[in-house]
Structure formats: structure tokens, C-alpha cells
Structure 1
Amino acid sequence: MTTTRENGSLYTHIDNNIAIVEFGHPASNSFPSELLRRLANEFDTLSNNDDVAIVVLKSEGDRAFCAGASFDELVAIDTLEEGKQFFAGFANVINAMRCCSKLIVGRVQGKTVGGGVGLAAACDYVLATEHASIKLSEFTIGIGPFVIAPAVERKIGVSGLAELTLDATSWKNAYWAKEKGLYARVFESIGDLDKELAIFTEKLASYNTEALSEMKKVLWKDTEHWQELLAERAEISGKLVLSDATKKALARFKK
């Protein structure tokens, strides 16, 4: 069942030391700013929860994993400050995932675009279905994936980031994403994905939590500057979204 709430939904269920964080939005699981704020806060909360060993990030439904940031909010941006705040939404979530003391396992069951690719890249380990194609389409509306680029590049390298970004109208399939390192494993169906997810996370949660936490630090070594870096990137996007070229491109998409 998918949510019909305008600002989306976010639920966390904790069982056997595994926290399952599920987000949803009627527009293909896209993110309005309020939902991004809630998700960032949730990662901060779980980071300090001694009853949680592992976090699973998933979305509602069986089609789209995440369609990125809210298009309605994007077209409504009128000032540089509004632009910076809008693009800081995914920056704050990525930094919350990076700083979370728990390892985060992503469950990507369907297509993901833009900021959604950033979310997948910010997970420590991702299981996906073969329907989980990815696309960075930001160039088509006059901006670029500047905020999420560090997370994506960290997983698939500069060449992979360039291939995704410059070929902005093409989908890359799940096996491409696996080959590049974004996904760890790809399954034929959601049923197969969820069976393996349950087995894998149960094993992880049984390990020494201190060892898991220390491994998290190792995986994110040399990213301490991201707090400032992603804020700078949000400002770049905030400026671009006010440009004439972007306004015209957004108007075409809106029609």
C-alpha cells in the first residue's frame, strides 16, 4: 500500500536490532523538503539508539525506488536562499547517512532518478532487483547532480559519474550499476530480494556492534569535509536553478 499524503510518509520499525526505515510519496516516492528533513533526523536518532545494530532503507511500492526531489518545489524556487535550502535537503540526508554510526543497507526495488541515486550511493551496501535502473537527468532541466556527485563518485568512480551525468536521457540498468559498484547484488524479483535481505541483515545484526561501527568509520574515511562541500554544491545548484536556461527548461517540463 502506498501513501497518499502530500508531504509523504516515513515509518521506522525496529525488530531484532534491525531498524527498517521506509519512505513513500504518491509522486513515485519523490522527496519534498519536509520529508528529507524527517529522514535526516531519523538517521541521527537511529545513530544513537543502542537497540539498533543495522539500518535498512527502503521505499514503498513495487515500482519506483525514488524519483528524487519534489518537482513542484523545484519550479517554485524564486530566490538564491530558497534554492540553497532546497538543494541542501539531499545534502543533509547524505551527511546524516555518512555520520550515522550504524551500517545502512539499501533495498532498491525499482527505478531511481537524481537524488534517489544519491541515496543509494550513500548506503553502505545495496541489494536491488533487475528493475532498479538508474538515471541522472539533471542536465535536461539546466542543473546538475552537484550535491549527490561526491556520494555517487565514491561508489562508481569519476568515469561512471561522467557516463551517468552526461548521458542525461538514458537509463543504466541494474547490472550496469552492479558492475560499477553501486549495487552489491541484483535479484530477479522483489521476493528474492527480500529473502536475501532478511538473511543478510540478520547475519550482520548478530556481529559485534562495536566492530560494525568501527567498520563504518573505515568505509567513510576522508569524507569529513563533506559538511562544507555539500553545502557549497547546494549553493551552485541554487544559483543555476534561477538561471534563464533552467527556468525555460522547467517550464517545458511543467507543460
Structure 2
Amino acid sequence: MSYQYLLVEQDGPVAIITLNRPQQLNALCQALLRELEAALDAIAADENVRAVIITGAGERAFAAGADISELAQLPSATAGRELALRSHRLARKMADLPKPIIAAINGYALGGGLELALACDIRLAADTAQLGLPEVTLGIMPGWGGTQRLLRLTGPGVAKLLMMTGERISAQQAQQLAIVERVVPQAELLDAAKHLAHTLAGMPPLSIAAIKEAVNRGHDMALDDANAFEAGLFGALTATEDAKEGTRAFLEKRKPTWRGR
């Protein structure tokens, strides 16, 4: 499939999606988001892909936010709500994908750009990256899940501070606040993301999918309910061919071969 605003390539079992509007700092227009949804559908159907990287074209921006020209033309509150709900559906698709998604944040990740990164499973940032949710300066607020995902990473006080001031923070500050997991030199970012993605792709895919589901769904459950959900997933995994292969390989002191069954 060809895309106007994305570059999609495959590096072995790793799919790399590059947001490709560098002249607009990879701003997230609706056409780009529709293409991203289609690319994720194709990746979900491809058994050869076991991990995903999302990054931005160029060194200046991962994604500098929503396309402001589109926001300015929204005719009603209903249209604004539907715009937010479409983005929420994309984020849900990312959460439901049984493959890990890594954000390689190579520059500005602002507004919708940061919200897209927050919807990924793991975030790596270049040491030159800047992150923020500046929607308040436009008279609006984060509407693509940012209020909820940032809250769950930083706690309510920090989340309110960043969103109410619209402040930009450095990659290093973002790591201290647990918004990103790792910070690496700009020139090494994509290689670091690929290395991590290949490491995850080399793990048993059913285990990776179960861990992602347990963390994502269990996060909002009471502890006893989340533990019961975890136990169900654990039990299902113990009956798989991969679990039998993994335990045999350990006892036989050899490298296991994962088949996703």
C-alpha cells in the first residue's frame, strides 16, 4: 500500500512507520492519521511483523501537534468531539495491537504529537527532543487522550502543571517524570529504537502480547481483579507450544525457537 504522509518499511520482523510531513514538522492532519490507522491494520495482519517503531521524518520533529489549520475550521462542538473520538479510536487500536509499539521521539513532540507518543508502549527520546501539551495556549485542551495518559505516568499534580502552563520540557526532564523511558543521543536514536525493537521481536510473541494486555487492562482494575486477570493470561500461556519449547530449551541449555503458538 502506498501512503502520502507516511513512510513504511520493514527491517526483518520490525516495521518502521515514519510520519512524513517534515515541512509541517510532521503535524498530524486527519489524512495522516487515517493512513496511520491503515498502516496499523496492515501490520496487525502481517504475522512476520513482531514489533513497531513510530518516528518522524527529519531531525526537527517527531510530530509538532495537530494540524492547526484543521482545528481552526471546526464548525461546532459536535465536530470537535468527533475529531477527538476518532483519535481515541486510533489510540485504542494501538493499545489493542498485540505487538509492542516504540515511539522514537526525534524532536518536537507537542500536543497531538506527544499524545501519539503517549499511546505507544515504550518511548525513546533524542537528547535534543522537547515535549509538551501546549493546547491551553490555543484556548483548548488536550483531546486525544493526553489528559488521561499523562496523568497515569506522572500523577495528577505534574500532569495539571504541564497542561495548564503549556510548558515545554526537555527529554531529560521527561525521563525524570517517567514520560519517556530512555534518552539517547540524537544521532543514535533510530539505531537504539531498532535494537530495542529487534530485542522485543525476538521474544515469544504470545508472551509479549499477554504482558501488554495485562499492563494496559490491569492498570485501571482493582489490584485483586488485575491479579486474577494476570493469572488467567499466565494460565493460558502455560498451555502454549512456546511455553513448552521455552522450558525444554532452558533444561537442554539451548536457544528456544518461538513459533507464536
**What's the Cα RMSD here?**
2.0
1:154 Cα deviation after fit: 2.4
1:42 aligns with 2:42: no
Task: State the partner residue of 2:242.
Answer: none
Structure 1 residues 173, 8: CA separation in 2 closer, same or farther (over 3 Å shift)?
farther
Cα deviation digits, residues 159-190 of structure 1 (max 9, x gap): 2311210111x21111111111121111122x
Shift of 1:222: 4.5
1:219 Cα deviation (Å)? 2.1
How far, CA to CA, are the matches of 1:180 and 1:97 in structure 2? 23
Task: Tell whether the 8 Å contact from 1:17 to 1:51 is kept in structure 2 after alignment.
Answer: yes
Distance 1:109 1:121 in 2: 14
In the other structure, the counterpart of 2:208 is 212
CA offsets per residue over residues 204-240 of structure 1, 9 Å max, x none?
Answer: 1111111111111012114799xxxxxxxxxxxxxxx
Aligned mate of 1:95, from 92, 97, 107: 92
Contact in 2 for aligned 1:37/1:89 (Cα 8 Å): no
Q: How does 1:66-105 map to 2 (within 5 A)?
A: 66-105=63-102
Q: Tell me which amino acid in the other structure corresponds to 2:150.
A: V
**Cα deviation digits, residues 95-151 of structure 1 (max 9, x gap):** 111111111011001011111111111111111111111121111111111432222
> Which one-letter code corresponds to 1:159 in the other structure?
G
**Larger-Rg structure:** 2
Q: What amino acid does structure 2 have at the position aligned with 1:158?
A: P
Query: Could you say what secondary structure the match of 2:24 adopts?
Result: coil
CA gap of 1:167–1:8, structure 2 versus 1, over 3 A, is farther
Q: Is the 8 A contact 1:30 1:70 kept in 2?
A: yes
C-alpha spacing 1:162/1:8, structure 2 compared with 1 (3 Å): farther
Tell me the equivalent position of 1:160. 158
Structure 1 residues 31, 210: CA separation in 2 closer, same or farther (over 3 Å shift)?
same
1:143 and 1:15 mapped to 2: Cα distance? Answer: 39
- Which blocks of at least 5 consecutive residues in structure 2 are unaligned? 222-261
Q: Does 1:18 align with 2:18?
A: no
The code of the aligned residue for 1:91 comes to H
Further displaced range: 215-224 or 25-34: 215-224
**Aligned counterpart, 1:129:** 126
Aligned residues: percent identity? 25
Q: How many residues align?
A: 217
TM-score, normalising length: structure 1: 0.79
Go from structure 1 to structure 2 and tell me whether the alpha carbon gap of 1:177 and 1:71 turns closer, same or farther (over 3 Å shift).
Answer: same
- Please give the alpha-carbon distance, in whole angstroms, between the structure 1 residues aligned to 2:156 and 2:129: 21
CA distance in 2, matches of 1:204, 1:16: 12
| Paired position in structure 2 for 1:108 | 105
Contact 1:36/1:89, CA 8 A, preserved across alignment: no
Partner Cα distance (2:48, 2:82) in 1: 33
Residue identity matched to 2:8: T
**Which one scores higher on RCO, CA 8 angstroms, separation ≥ 6?**
1
**Shift in Å at residue 40 of structure 1?**
2.0
Are positions 1:55 and 2:68 aligned together? Answer: no
Partners of 2:91 and 2:116 within 8 A in 1 = yes
Deviations 1:55-77 (A, max 9, x none): 11111011111111111111111
Q: 1:50 & 1:154 partners in 2: Cα distance?
A: 31
Matches of residues 214-229 of structure 1 in structure 2 within 5 Å?
Answer: 214-222=210-218
Q: Which secondary structure state, in structure 1, belongs to the residue aligned with residue 217 of structure 2? A: coil
CA distance in 2, matches of 1:179, 1:17: 31
5+ residue gaps, structure 1, are: 1-6, 226-255
Equivalent residue of 1:57, what SS? strand
